[in-house]
Amino acid sequence: MPDINGIQLGTALREQGDDGLIIYLTSSPDFALESYNTDALHYLLKPIDIEPFFRCMDKAMNRLNRSLTETISIKTPGSTRIIPVHNILYAERVNRFIRYNLNDGTVIDSVTFNGTFQSAVSPLLSRHGFLIVGSSFVVNLYHVTEVTKSDMLLDEKHLVPIPRRTYKEVKSAWGDYWLKKGDTHVI
């Protein structure tokens, strides 16, 4: 590519909110570490060995199938909604119901719940990438773009407050999520 390299392109895509799978295919190992910043699935070196290439493609297909098929059922006052889990930015306790905030701006309010907040959001907490923050929020770590001492920023526009006493644990969980999720390998 004459005017931009693959890492720059991957970064630009992520900044625009694109969460597609990125697989780098290159003759240079020079940018392998930087590929972590784009949440690349793999970093393959030319000449391509057929076995690692097919393993990479299988992994990509598994990731796509899994992320597109996971759903959660939300009972609302008027119906039951089936929502893809990857569309949920965060869920918030508001009085005795759960407010689900989706990445397209949709807000869904559940029916009232009895019991604890943690029990009410257990279908989310049982999935990889969801973290309870404080006593009123469950956050999809995939959508978190920044963690400060007071807030989490989701998709560059939504703020979720972080209790002071949990800042280190929240930041550590977010870092662990991204370090383990990318599965970037140089082959």
First vs last Cα of the chain: how many Å apart? 22
Report pLDDT for 68: 59
Query: Mean pLDDT of residues grouped by 10 in the chain (187 residues)?
Result: 86 82 91 88 91 89 72 92 92 96 95 93 90 94 92 93 93 85 42
Report pLDDT for 1: 61
Q: Which two tokens stand for residue 62?
A: 């598994």
Report pLDDT for 184: 39
Alpha-carbon distance of 91 to 107, in angstroms, equals 10
Alpha-carbon distance of 54 to 155, in angstroms, equals 32
Is 17 within 8 Å of 37 (Cβ atoms)? no
Report pLDDT for 183: 44
- Sign of the alpha-carbon dihedral angle for 76, 78, 83, 89: negative
Report pLDDT for 13: 87
